[in-house]
A and B are shown apart, each in its own frame.
Chain A
């Protein structure tokens, strides 16, 4: 390179210049050094081979030729609190305000497979989601909502098969056939062991339940996504963007391998696998993450797993803005954070989006807060012009450089996971849990040293700050009502011993579990009873306590 080389000249001038004096470091949210600039010489890419036009392999630029001109992303706010009746009213409010899909947040007893009247449920019923303990509760939750038209996502993992059975049975009771149902059960148990920690059964039986659901869905509920392979919780637990990307895709590949090992043709179930990512504050890092995810998935599905259908190659994903980026201090600022994160998700080509409400570090969202969050998406969709053009950052030297880097770093993790003996082995050895805990601690230390600035928390603070937004308060009345409802159900229904025995028999053998689960739902068996029957055969998982 000669001295007249422009890049060289810039580098020399930059090196001589004074930079601002501040403890704030130029690092991403994930702690990666950000280069001051990237140029064409940093990014050797071949457009058609490495990016592809939207709808073309490897789908870096998007999965569909029309992207948002064909269909806007689904605006899907995650909601649930109190009893099924309380949450049903919130769903109707959201649909009336222009939301286009539903997303069910269950309370902790439901997530852990306990009935609302169990000892373990005390104090937790309806607190951070809605309590659903039976088919009856599911019927109330969707009362007056057209189950054949609206698509429903359910954030449920350990007992996902049971809640799905309640949903299918509720639709059938309303005359809606399973073939008409559209939606998703999260059902990503691997990330539960890794990050979210709402597991019930040990990993191997959990994988068996999941392959049963994949097979049942392919045959009976063809428009349903049987797993949403989720990085969201991994990121919220403190991982970096690369860890989120790598661990999520590694989980996804583990499900694909389990499906193939169970004797299924990869193209029968892979098109019903969807993904779920976080959108954190580092704008370009997030966009690069989504683009890299699509490319990695497409290449592996085609080249490693031999999928022949392009529908198996495309990575479709839901995004939720980063709850962990929100601050309790000056909560109105969270509206702004969420808007930037939502824009990153759309520039990254998301298929659906949840925008967090400003009050989520304080309580479950109030009606006003959730409406502003939904309006944020509507402004983005209809006022900013961002979704009019496809992959506008494609070809940006920085974004393409970052996309390549994300892929390379993820590949390093894949090799490491292979060396450990696969995802389940890695979980049992605490590998993922330690990696994430370490990243979370590093992040916190950078915050305390003010190498990282959070407005209103470690800089631009206000003395005597007063909270000026209304909060939703959830009292104990949901618990009281749920106890009454369950007592009435147990008195009303017939004997459920037979349907529970049928579940145990299926669990011991190899028949598809969904069939006796749906029968048990219809007979009025409760979530807790069904999960106990499964625990009788599968046992329970306990994780070692490490920090």
Chain B
């Protein structure tokens, strides 16, 4: 196991339903993650800027408003534009099945919907971040 996993938890867009984001942030903190929660109404530009400045391993976006396609697309595009390829973009909320293929195509990781047990996303984050760190190290050698 490497260094502590740093994750940025964000509420993008106009939606104010922050219960899920806050519960996940608390759960990850208690599970030993370093959590940066930036609060409401984060634009994709702000999210990507914070991700780079805070040098995070992952970004978790909480979206309940139906704007997930627009938001995930902008965030993944901006990361690519900045040349940031190692940061995992994941998240959760109300995301219909029919949109999942489009999100996968954008390079978004797994998304977690209501009713998910915390052990499930914690395990996913550990495995996926670990895999990406090893890939990055291998590429740097």
Please, what's the 1-or-0 string for A195-237, where 1 marks a CB less than 8 Å from any CB in chain B? 0111000000000000000000000000000000000000011
Q: Please, which residue of chain A has its CB at the minimum distance from the CB of B72?
A: A123
Contact of A363 with B by CB under 8 A? yes
Residues of A within 8 A of B37 (CB): 545-547
Residues of B within 8 A of A128 (CB): 15, 64-66
Residues of A within 8 A of B26 (CB): 437, 441, 547
Tell me whether B16 and A363 are in contact (CB under 8 A): no
Tell me whether A547 and B22 are in contact (CB under 8 A): yes
Selected interface stretch from B83-91, B92-100, B123-131, B132-140: B92-100
Residues of B within 8 A of A441 (CB): 22-23, 26-27
Tell me the number of A-to-B contacts counted with CB atoms below 8 Å.
104
Contact of A307 with B by CB under 8 A? no
Selected interface stretch from A144-152, A249-257, A467-475, A525-533: A467-475
Interface size class of A (residues with CB under 8 A): 35 or more
A122 with B65, Cβ < 8 A, contacts A327-B115, A329-B115 known: no
Q: Measured between C-beta atoms, what is the minimum distance from A197 to chain B in Å? A: 3
Q: Please, which residue of chain A has its CB at the minimum distance from the CB of B38?
A: A545
Most buried by B among A121, A123, A546: A123
Residues of A within 8 A of B113 (CB): 328, 361
Residues of A within 8 A of B39 (CB): 543-546
Please, what's the 1-or-0 string for A353-390, where 1 marks a CB less than 8 Å from any CB in chain B? 00000000111100000000000000000000000000
Residues of B within 8 A of A124 (CB): 13-14, 65-67, 70
- Please provide the chain A residues from 99 to 149 with a CB less than 8 Å away from any CB of chain B in the complex: 108-109, 111-112, 114, 120-124, 127-128
Most buried by A among B9, B22, B26, B39: B22
Q: Nearest 9 CB-CB pairs, A to B? A: A123-B70, A197-B16, A545-B39, A127-B66, A123-B67, A108-B14, A547-B22, A547-B25, A457-B115
Beyond the given A328-B115, A361-B114, A441-B26, please list 20 additional residue pairs across the A-B interface where CB-CB is below 8 A: A122-B67, A124-B70, A127-B66, A128-B64, A192-B16, A196-B16, A197-B16, A236-B17, A237-B17, A324-B19, A361-B113, A363-B94, A437-B22, A440-B22, A448-B119, A457-B115, A471-B96, A473-B98, A543-B39, A547-B21
